[in-house]
Each structure stands twice: as C-alpha cells, then as structure tokens.
A and B are shown apart, each in its own frame.
Chain A
Amino acid sequence: MTRHRTLRRMLAFAAIAALPLPANAHKLAEKGTPVTIADSTLSVTPTRDWNRLSGRIGAHAERWTLDGEQLNDVTFYAGVAPGEPLLRERSKKKDPLPKFRQDMLLAEVPELLERTYRTGRDARDFQLSGAAPGKFLGRDGVTFAYQVTDSEGLIRKGEARAAAVNGKLYLVTFDAPRLHYFDQVVDDARALMGSATL
C-alpha cells in the first residue's frame, strides 16, 4: 500500500509526457460575440474575453476559463439527454458515472453534480450551500451554490444554474478556488451564465 502514491506519480508523469503539443488547442471567445456551445443550440454572449478550452470533457460539455481551468472554470453541459452522464466516462463498464434521468427533479440536480464530481473528479467533500428556484434559459430552473474539496485538499467554491428543456438537462457551473479566485471572477461568470439562451 505504501507505494501506491509513487506508482501514481510515475503514471502521472507518463501521462504528461504523452500529451500532445497544445498548438492551436484553445479558442478565444471575444466580448460581445455570441458563441454556440458544444455544437448545441445553447449560445452565450460573453461580456469580456474568455478562453474556450478545446478538450472535450463530456459529449455535451464545454469548458471556459480565464486563467486556466484549475483557477476559474465555467463548464456548460448543453443538452444532456436522459441516460447520459455529464462527463465522459473513463470506462463505461468499470467506472460508470451517474446519469441524468428523465424523471429527475430539479431539486436532485445538485446531487447529480455532486455524485459526478465525487466519481469522475475524485472530489472528497461536497457541501451544498444553497439551492433555490431561479430562471435559466428563460425557464423555471434551479440556482445552487456549493463548496467542493478535491483529493489534494484544495477547496473550491461553485455556483450553478440548471433547467430541463424538452427532456434534456442544461447546466452551467462556475468553479474556482475559495481563496481569492472565486470572488475575483464570480461577477464575470454570473454575467456569462446569465447570457445563455437557447
């Protein structure tokens, strides 16, 4: 059991070495220009410039950031159909992720995100700090806030909005370290989330 950590480090090192060069990896979303998210019908109009990360973490997911996804991360989940997970599964059979379900209540969406973070991102703690009805995409939805601790012990704050439209889940989250980064960018992130339309 003692060398579990060493092995993990070796694997992490190998993974880094195997990464492709990030030439033209990311795109710029310019202020005032509408952008379509993850080839869906969801679009947003940023109020400042954002970076759109190219790595697809889920079939309907797209990640935006200002300083890197570890420091500020707006993730859109645009039209998750019933039976689909939020993030891409490492192994559909061995490590399945929780799925969105047709009969899921909006009050259960925070639980879906929590279980996804715990399973897919190795989150160790997730505290919901608020969940209230709120408009999203012009529909009745849910707005919620949380605090999540990752496996390294870093605490992030998060805020999210969600709504179900025609049986599909539309969810947008903003996560950033509790210390400094969350408060620094939260207004920009809220403006971005608020600009989402279908």
Chain B
Amino acid sequence: MIRRSTWWAAAAGLLLAGPAAAQPAALPPPYQGAYQPHGVDEIGLWHEADEEERQLAASPLRIRDERLTGYVTSVLCATVGDDRCGSVRVYVIRAPMFNASMTPNGTMRVYSGLLLRLRNEAELATVLGHEFGHYERRHTLAAFKERRSGTDAVAWMALLTSLGASYQTMQNFQNFQLAVYGGFFRHGRDQEREADKLGIAYLNRSSLRPQSATVVWQHMMAEAEASASAKGLKKPNFRYIAFAASHPPYAERAAYLAELAAPDGADRDDGTERYRAALAPFLAQFLDDQIKLNDFGASEYLIQNLATAGWTATLWLKRGDLYRTRGAPRDLAAAADFYAHAVQLDPTLAEAHRGLGLSLMKTGRPSEAVAPLQTYLRLRPDAVDAGMIQTIIPGGPQ
C-alpha cells in the first residue's frame, strides 16, 4: 500500500508540474482582428493548420461553389456574430459522412454528408457553433499540451519502474499508463461537451430556434438504429461511453442540448425553407454519394426524411438506385415502382428510365424493359454506357 501511494504521488507531481509551468498570461481570443499565434505550441499548430489549409484549398474534394460556401458562412455569422465569424474560412468538402471540424487557425471544414443530414438552418447553426466553440476555446492547443504532459509523465514513470522492477511496480505502471490514456479521451469528451454548451449558447442568442440542437442528435440516433436494424445488428446503446470514445454519447448530447435550449426561443424560425433552397442544387449528388455506401438502413432513413417535404423525381430515382443495387427480388420490384414514380414526375430524367429498364429486365419483364431503355438512349444518345445498354435491349444489336 505504501509503495503504491508513493508511486501515485510521484505520478501526480509530474502531471501537475507540466501544465502549471506552462501557464500563459491571458491571450486575446483567436478570432480578434488579425490575431497572431503566441508561444511555440500555438505557433506550431497554426503553422501546421496553414499548411493543411493550403492543401485543402487546392483539393479536388473541395466544393468550389461560392453560393453554397457563402450560405454556410452566413449561417455561421448569424450564429456567432459578425465580429467573430470574420476570422473563419469555410470549406465545404465532398465526403459522405456526418462531420465538420475546425483547426486552430480558423479553417472550418463542413462535410457534404453533414449538409445532407441536417434539415434546417438552426441545425446547421448547432454544428457550426459547436465547431466555433472548439476554436474560440483553443481546444486543439489544450489537447496537445495535455497529451504532451501526459506522455512525459508516462515516460518518466517507465524510467522509474525500470529502476525498481517487480511484478507490482509493473502492474502499477500499466494502471498508470491506462489512466493517463483514458484521461486524454475523457479530456476530449469534456472539450466536446464544452463546445456543445458554447454552441447552444450562441444559438440561444441568435435569431434561430435553439430547440433544433437536440433534434440533430435525435436524428443521428434514429439513423444509427435504422442502419443497425437493416444490417441485422442489435440496437446501438446511445448511453455507452467506450474507453476511446472521442465524443459524448448521442443520448447525453441530445439530453443536455434540450435542457439548455432557451424556452423563449421555441417559436423562432428554424430557416427550413432557406436551407432547402441552398442545398437543392447539390441534393442529387450528396444523396448519390450516400446511397453508394452500401448502408441500406441509413440511406433509406435519409431518403424518407428528405421526403417529408414532398417526394421529388430525384428522391424517387435515388430510392430506386438504392433498392436496385441491393438487388433482392423484392427490392427489384420495389425499385421498378420507384423509378416509375420518378419518370412520372420528370419524364426527362434519363437515369430513371435506365433504372426502370434494368429493374424490369431483372424481374423477368424484358419486353416491358425495352421502352424505358430506348427512352434512356434517346434522352442521352451520348451516355457513356450507351453501348452496353444497346446490347441488353432484347432484339437490339448484339
């Protein structure tokens, strides 16, 4: 017992010594004016972030659309205020996952998969405010310092352990190491909670509806459930915190965001119409990126969600693609039906005719498949797969 407590005292001393010595004087916030980083750590992180931003700006995955980028930036400004948002550069990235991130130098990355999943401006503001919170509180810098002092302590402990190696000291060392690493992850989750709280505080002060914040996580849970159910997995546990979890669990976030939303904001506008209008030109592509991920449950959930505003030819087409590519006989019959709806709403939608023809072909109705496939070729005489489609039209060129 005595020996163990000595170890822990030494370890605690090492852990405390690091950050205490490096405590800087209060710095201006990073969004103020043309802020310049202070101290080697911050300068280093900004340098790295500048380099990454240079690559990002030139990346083919960046969606170079001034209107979309401008729209996301305007929502950020409406959330955190014009005085703060001027320090941020927004980049919309083509990546089909729910994510956004912010680096210490003010680079905001917003993934297309996030935009596909959100339903209104207030939900977008929730995520943007959260990311801005990380930036405002210099979370990356704090996490870097924490990791450095923690790994320093582990290294010293390893040295001390090797001096008095015994089964018990090794055991103590391993426990210590686990505690330090677990601490990194816990610290990360605490930062996420802090960013969530800052985000909702911004939303409360904005003209948008703060009650939408909790809805983001409710939908994430529903989507995860739909995904798991279609894969035959058991329902995910939304309260469980894994050792290495980077974020608090969905249920916890949904609960505290609901609690922290200002009640008097409940009847504010959530900007659904503006959001839909801004996203409309990109919806087909973002949805296409999603349905090709082979996650049937999540994709179907997202399509159903988008369809609450009314079924469009694009939604029917993508739903048809989703079912046809899963490809069970019942899926093919359903796909043919969905494509038929798409064609009805927009007879010029070439891909829907193609999908309809292929689905009918595979459900044993080749004679019915001829007309839609021919329509596809008529609408798209220069389609890249025209030659292939020609060969499968019964009676067509072999």
Contact = CB atoms under 8 A, between A and B. Distances in A.
Interface stretch (B66-74, B276-284, B383-391): B383-391
Interface in B21-77: 55, 59-61
A196 B151 CA distance: 54
Contacts of A132: 387-388
Given A2-B102, A104-B327, A111-B325, A131 B95 contact: no
B99 interface: yes
B385 A131 contact: yes
A98 B294 contact: yes
Interface in B281-307: 289, 292-294
Contacts of B292: 114-115, 118-119, 126
B231 A94 contact: yes
A108 B358 contact: yes
Interface in B325-350: 325, 327
A2 B134 CA distance: 8
B139 interface: yes
Contacts of A104: 327
B362 A133 contact: no
A151 B294 CA distance: 17
B388 A3 contact: no
Contacts of A94: 231, 233
B233 A131 contact: no
A12 to B, nearest CB: 15
Contacts of A125: 60-61, 94
A107 B348 CA distance: 21
A4 B246 contact: yes
Q: Which of B55, B100, B292 has the most CB of A within 10 A?
A: B292
Q: Which of B55, B96, B384 has the most CB of A within 10 A?
A: B384
A7 interface: yes
Interface residues of B, number: 42
Interface in A97-115: 97-98, 101, 103-108, 110-111, 114-115
B95 A1 contact: no
Interface in A109-164: 110-111, 114-115, 118-119, 124-126, 128-133, 140, 142, 144, 149, 151, 153, 155
B327 A101 contact: yes
A96 interface: yes
A90 interface: no
A5 interface: yes
A93 interface: yes
A149 B101 contact: no
A130 B384 contact: yes
A119 B293 CA distance: 5
A174 B231 CA distance: 32
A149 B361 contact: no
Contact of B294 (A115, A124, A126, A144): A115
Contact of A131 (B94, B188, B247, B387): B387
B392 A107 contact: yes
Interface string B231-273: 1110000000000101100000000000000000000000000
Contacts of A118: 96, 289, 292-294
A163 to B, nearest CB: 13
A98 B325 contact: yes
A198 B206 CA distance: 68
B388 A155 contact: no
B392 A128 contact: no
A128 B233 contact: no
Contacts of A142: 388
B143 interface: yes
Contacts of B388: 106-107, 131-133, 142
Contacts of A1: 99-102, 130-131, 134, 192, 246-247
Given A105-B361, A105-B392, A106-B388, A3 B188 contact: yes
A94 B192 CA distance: 26
Contacts of A105: 358, 361-362, 392
A108 B332 CA distance: 13
Nearest to B104: A2
Interface in A7-52: 7
Q: Which of B61, B131, B134 has the most CB of A within 10 A?
A: B61
B103 interface: yes
A124 B94 contact: yes
A96 B100 contact: no
Contact of B325 (A4, A5, A115, A144): A115
Interface of A: 1-7, 93-94, 96-98, 101, 103-108, 110-111, 114-115, 118-119, 124-126, 128-133, 140, 142, 144, 149, 151, 153, 155
Given A106-B391, A115-B294, A130-B385, 20 more contacts: A2-B101, A2-B139, A3-B143, A3-B188, A94-B233, A96-B231, A98-B325, A106-B392, A107-B358, A107-B392, A115-B325, A118-B289, A118-B292, A118-B293, A119-B293, A131-B388, A142-B388, A149-B60, A149-B61, A153-B60
10 contacts: A1-B102, A1-B131, A2-B101, A7-B244, A7-B246, A103-B327, A119-B293, A128-B385, A153-B60, A155-B60
